[in-house]
């Protein structure tokens, strides 16, 4: 592994020839990553639940000189069933016949409550979108990822997924589970070409951060565009043997 992935420098053709699916690509970090991955030559599959927002990202990508036309995959992770996951995987097989990168970025915050007060239905929704959906999507895409000779799966964690903190409830617990899912999958594939890692983005200027810290000075936060080097390092060829890690983007 390179010394400091946070300052990773890359060439403009880093992701040339790679097909990469990014969940939650309609906003925040996922959107910024989709735009930069497309600029670096990737064939990007934009996943989200809101077609209109995804189409706006699509339009931004086709305006980038030389970028490949992205594809849009609409699937609400809160309500998707087995058929929805299977049809997403089938459409990737039919359209591209390969998958080299899978970035589990979509997530929800839930509410900031104590465990004592936490609503059980909301708890289940947060765990479902943040963990179970990532498991289901990974499972259905593994056969395709395993056909790539240099595939990378990235999960998204958080500081509260490594050390528990009061009022972070289901979100924190879901991120601990995400770290676990990433480690188990990495260990299962440690003798293959598939690498599996986790990224903690750190405080980043997005709608989710605003919901968690409404009063904070947003100008002091890193933008999604500024935290991308670690993601690009893990998606590109320079991280070929890096697996089972949990990296900080800041
Ligand atoms: P964001 O701006 O709120 O974006 C979240 C993305 O997830 C959006 O594209 C959203 O779609 C999508 N999403 C949410 N629920 C979904 C569902 N049911 N089905 C499909 N897509 C869904 O958040 P962000 O800050 O960029 O966060 C990205 C990741 O980083 C998350 O996993 C988050 O936990 C993690 N993270 C963020 C920070 C931070 O400071 N920002 C810190 C640590 C970790 P819509 O556009 O339709 O809402």
**171-201 pLDDT, tens per residue?**
999 999 999 999 999 999 999 999 999 999 9
Split into its structural domains, the chain has a count of 1
Each residue of 192-239: pLDDT tens digit? 999 999 999 999 999 999 999 999 999 999 999 999 999 999 999 999
Alpha-carbon distance 239 to 235, whole Å?
A: 7
187 belongs to a structural domain: yes
Q: What residue numbers bound the domain in which 184 lies?
A: 12-248
Is the CB of residue 158 below 6 angstroms from any atom belonging to ligand 1? yes
What CATH number does residue 22 fall under? 3.40.50.720
Whether 171 is catalytic is yes
Residue 88 CB less than 6 A away from ligand 1: no
Selecting among 171, 213, 231, 233, the annotated active-site residue is: 171
Tell me the C-alpha distance between 27 and 208, whole Å.
10
Identify whether the C-beta of residue 155 lies closer than 8 Å to the C-beta of residue 202: no
Look up the pTM and report it. 0.98
28 lines ligand 1 (CB under 6 A): yes
Q: How big is the CA angle at 193 (ends 192 and 196), to the nearest 5 degrees? A: 90
Q: Is residue 2 part of a domain?
A: no
């Amino acid at each position: 592994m390179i010394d400091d992935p946070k300052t990773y420098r890359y060439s403009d053709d880093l992701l040339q020839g790679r097909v990469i699916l990014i969940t939650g690509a309609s906003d925040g970090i996922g959107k910024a990553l989709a735009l930069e991955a497309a600029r670096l030559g990737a064939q990007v599959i934009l996943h989200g639940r809101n077609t209109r927002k995804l189409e706006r990202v699509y339009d931004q990508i086709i305006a980038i000189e030389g970028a490949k036309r992205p594809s849009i995959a609409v699937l609400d992770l809160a309500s998707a069933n087995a058929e929805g996951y299977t049809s997403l995987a089938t459409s990737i097989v039919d359209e591209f016949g390969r998958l080299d990168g899978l970035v589990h970025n979509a997530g929800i915050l839930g509410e900031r409550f104590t465990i004592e007060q936490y609503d059980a239905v909301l708890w289940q929704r947060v765990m479902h979108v943040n963990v179970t959906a990532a498991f289901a999507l990974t499972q259905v895409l593994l056969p395709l990822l395993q056909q790539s000779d240099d595939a990378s799966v990235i999960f998204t964690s958080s500081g509260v997924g490594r050390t528990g903190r009061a009022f972070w409830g289901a979100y924190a617990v879901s991120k601990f589970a995400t770290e676990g899912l990433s480690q188990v999958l990495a260990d299962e594939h440690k003798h293959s070409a598939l690498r599996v890692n986790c990224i903690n983005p750190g405080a980043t200027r997005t709608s989710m951060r605003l919901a968690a810290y409404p009063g904070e000075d947003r100008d002091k936060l890193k933008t999604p565009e500024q935290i991308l080097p670690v993601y690009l390092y893990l998606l590109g060829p320079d991280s070929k043997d890096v697996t089972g890690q949990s990296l900080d983007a800041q």
